[in-house]
Amino acid sequence: MSHSNWSLPAAACVVVALSVWFSPASTSAAPPAHLLVGPLAQSTPAIIGGVVAKPGQYPNVGQVIMNLKNYGNSSCTGTLIAARWVLTAAHCLAIPGAKLNGLSFKLDGKTYTSRRWFVHPSYIPTNFSAGNDIALIQLTTSVAGVPFGKLPTGVPVVGSKLTVVGLGLTGTGWEGTTGRSGMFIPGSQILRQQTTGVKRIGTVTADTVTGIHIGWNFVRPQISCTAPGDSGGPAFNAAGEIVGVTSGGTSSTAIWGTYAFDTRVDLFTAWITTTMASSR
């Protein structure tokens, strides 16, 4: 998996695609000194390490396709949490210097257009490390026959095992991401590329839980890492709840030594439910 809007935001090393890798605001363990800052979205196959999802696995996780004025299409990852609602990362939708003309959500080969989208009101595109990297997309039509992703009922804890899912870049810890690279939107780490993606699944352990993020260090082959294009994708706990949304990481290539982080969803359940209830 790899990230797309990173500070490289989410450096989870599954390499899932389309994430923004930004530097974490605070962690119980200091991130690597080579931390980069800037959103990074992407659209090629996903997650460093991990495995390709089997048909029917995580059916509520799909690809968010952003149509950007002057830059064409790019993509992130998102999770269907209600019939017409997709949870993703704010940095995928609020890109400095790039106007978002429209959005669509691709799920198991079918594409759903967006009616509108909501970036968390406290998210600041030019200050990614401040957090609040979460957003909602309202679809024009309902998605049927797909189980919805569940919001968390508790607080994430250090040492917990998480499953990350994304449709971003893939590769290995030794070489980092593979496939297309470059063609960044000026002033960001968002790639403007084709929007084909392969859903991949990886396993990580929460090394840090801060006031805004869940983070982990990609330091051994038994774990995975998110990468560009994985941004906005979910981190599920053992109960199947979405406890994190892929946000960023310290390396756009998701190589060994990357520190990756997700936005804590438990901090935003009230905003999520209120936004959906007031925007029917």
Average pLDDT over the chain, rounded to an integer: 75
Backbone angles phi, psi at 121, to 5 degrees: -60, -20
Of 74-88, 227-241, 249-263, which has the strongest mean pLDDT?
74-88
DSSP β-ladder status, 20-21 and 5-7: parallel
In angstroms, rounded to a whole number, what is the distance separating the alpha carbons of residues 231 and 42?
Answer: 8
Rounded to two decimals, the pTM is 0.79
Residues with Cβ within 8 Å of 21's Cβ and at least 6 positions away in sequence, in order, are 3, 5, 6, 7, 8, 9, 10, 11, 36, 38, 39, 40, 189, 228, 248, 249, 250, 251, 252, 260
Q: What is the pLDDT of residue 279?
A: 87
Asked if residues 205 and 218 have their Cβ atoms less than 8 Å apart, the reply is no
- Buried b / exposed e over 35-54, threshold 16 CB at 10 Å, is bbbbbbbbbbbbbbbbeebe
Is the pLDDT confidence value at 116 over 90? yes
Asked if residues 226 and 164 have their Cβ atoms less than 8 Å apart, the reply is yes
pLDDT in tens, 160-179: 999 999 887 654 444 444 44
Residue 3 has what DSSP assignment?
B
In angstroms, rounded to a whole number, what is the distance separating the alpha carbons of residues 227 and 114?
Answer: 25
Instruction: Return the higher-pLDDT residue of 149 and 38.
Output: 149
First and final C-alpha spacing in the chain: 33
% of residues, the chain, pLDDT over 90: 44
Q: What is the pLDDT of residue 274?
A: 97
Residue 19 structure tokens: 């994430």
Under the banding of pLDDT at 50, 70 and 90, the label for residue 22 is very low
pLDDT in tens, 64-87: 999 888 777 888 899 999 999 999
Q: What is the pLDDT of residue 223?
A: 53
Range 5-277 has CATH code 2.40.10.120: yes
Q: What is the pLDDT of residue 166?
A: 86
